Structure 1
Amino acid sequence: MSAPHLLPVRVYYEDTDFSGLVYHASYLRFLERGRTELLRAAGVDQSVLHAGGEGLFFAVRRMTIDWLVPARMDDVLAVETRTAEVRGASIVIAQRILRDAQVLLTADVRVAALAGGRPARLPDALRAILEGRG
């Protein structure tokens, strides 16, 4: 399991619904940014992976989300992201969205590694990074 990465996110008007609460689908964007920034902080450039010889990219396979407490316009949130499990061609990523110390949302995301539209084994170097060994 990797060390958690924290990404600060401010809630803007565009992220909310008519009530001033964050619209449920906006959380998906926050979570996606958290996963991207976890990789970036570990030195993994997804565009380089995709442009490389294998054309490797990631696609969400399954996502389980628990919305616990709503966020509101102008809140400053933290998206906490860490790898929970690394398998041959997939990664399970554990994520939380927090406001200060309060957990607003938890998510477990299984991401599949693909190349040419088919499952692809994660390269050893990438596996080591994701497992916190690289």
Structure 2
Amino acid sequence: MIHTLPVHVYYEDTDLAGIVYYANYLKFIERGRTEWVRDLGVDQVKLKEEEGIVFAVRRVEADYLSPARFDDDLVVETSLEAMTGARIVVSQKVKRGEEELFVAQVTLVALTATGHPARLPAVLRRNLH
């Protein structure tokens, strides 16, 4: 299953040349992961409050393929690559139409409030299978 999130490029997302600033792609894919997890039935605020579990990015491998520009309409695609008891690896793409502009593989881990590894929430594991 591929989750999609529309993103519009605003002036604040760009540099002086009107090109999306490189770090903003990380913000775009963060939004995509947040909505993906929400659509999988996980309330991250409730998860933190009730179970003391949060998600953290452990690794990002990213390729910038082509620039997005001011006023572009983009789509962030998020899909599961792999999952273990405490880790998720997702593939993410930022696209303009069918053109891939940015691709990333992101490794997320579940952590306790004290920063120790935790098992992924059961609802997430269930909904990803």
Q: TM-score range by the shorter chain?
A: over 0.9
Partner of 2:30, secondary structure, is: helix
Structure 1 vs Structure 2: percent identity of aligned residues? 52
Structure 2 regions of 5+ residues with no counterpart? Answer: none
Q: Residue 42 of structure 1 aligns with which residue?
A: 40
1:9 matched to 2:7: yes
Task: Tell me the distance in 1 between the aligned counterparts of 2:79 and 2:46.
Answer: 21
Task: Tell me the distance in 1 between the aligned counterparts of 2:123 and 2:67.
Answer: 38
* Aligned residue runs from structure 1 range 1-134, under 5 A: 3-52=1-50, 54-116=51-113, 117-129=115-127, 131=128, 133=129
- How high is the TM-score relative to the length of structure 2? 0.96
| Greater CA drift, 117-126 or 73-82 | 117-126
Partner of 2:6, secondary structure, is: strand
Partner of 2:57, secondary structure, is: strand
| CA RMSD of superposed structures (Å) | 0.9
Using the TM superposition, give the Cα deviation of residue 125 of structure 1 relative to its aligned residue in structure 2, in angstroms: 2.9
Task: Tell me the distance in 2 between the aligned counterparts of 1:125 and 1:27.
Answer: 28
Count matched residues: 128
Which digits, 9 at most, give the CA deviation of each residue in 1:48-104, with x for residues without a partner? 11111x211000000000000000000000000011111111100110000000010
Task: Tell me the distance in 2 between the aligned counterparts of 1:79 and 1:47.
Answer: 23
- How high is the TM-score relative to the length of structure 1? 0.92
Structure 1 regions of 5+ residues with no counterpart? Answer: none
Partner of 1:96, secondary structure, is: strand
